Structure 1
């Protein structure tokens, strides 16, 4: 079974791109606070250590377009999807990447002021930088 459920905040504005065939793709990162006691959190922060995890996500189709339209840095979001890994070879080394392939997203809060949708969920549908179809890992 491969199922991932996350609730967190976007670390930056989502990046919307389109393939040569016109399919929308959106990348974003969700910050998820680690469950720590106040003392442990203060201790880690004083040592400049990480107190959150940063999870890379990718959405396709209408879901990608909706995320890019209604979410921004700091927006709280719920994500459901599947974990996927891939790698590229650079200078003879394999560099691995792990990300969540978004199947469903819940808009828990949005920081964009001009919105007509704020607390709805949208399922994954196959349907603004340009990438080639050969760049899609599946």
Structure 2
């Protein structure tokens, strides 16, 4: 299953419209998220929501909001003056607001993540102090 979780900032306010045939609500907005390389600019991504979620997003979210999005990532190919361009689009099924006061409960920024290469010890940072018993984890055979 194609599933994506993304922490981003809304850079273009949600725009609500309706389909012609069934009058189903559709909201589109643009979000931006940090590039892993500090020397490169942030990435921009088109986000689409349908139905009741689309209406909720248009009513509750504006440009500048920090959010966590979960959805399905899709790549479209568009013909442009002699070349093909790939454009990413995220169709979301959940949106979670991040409070402006810095309260990001249960969300860890990539800047706070310590990669294993940079770790001074050989322990796995993913399981440090997490309370997860590695012996009880399901092992996927592929």
With structure 1 as the length reference, what TM-score do the two structures score? 0.62
Mark the runs of 5 or more structure 1 residues left unpaired by the alignment: 111-138
Mark the runs of 5 or more structure 2 residues left unpaired by the alignment: 101-142
Q: In terms of Rg, which structure is larger?
A: 2
In structure 2, the CA distance between the partners of 1:71 and 1:91, relative to structure 1 (3 Å rule), is same
Name the structure, 1 or 2, with higher relative contact order (CA <8 Å, separation 6+): 1
With structure 2 as the length reference, what TM-score do the two structures score? 0.60
Per-residue displacement from partner, 1:92-130 (whole Å, max 9, x unpaired)?
6444321111011112247xxxxxxxxxxxxxxxxxxxx
CA distance in 1, matches of 2:26, 2:3: 20
CA distance in 2, matches of 1:92, 1:34: 29
Runs of 4+ in 1 over 3 A off after TM superposition: 88-95
CA distance in 1, matches of 2:19, 2:82: 28
After TM superposition, the structure 1 = structure 2 runs for residues 1-138 of structure 1, keeping only pairs within 5 Å, are 1-20=1-20, 21-35=22-36, 41=38, 44=39, 49-50=40-41, 52-91=42-81, 93-109=83-99
In structure 2, the CA distance between the partners of 1:109 and 1:65, relative to structure 1 (3 Å rule), is farther
Deviation at 1:29, TM superposition (A): 1.6
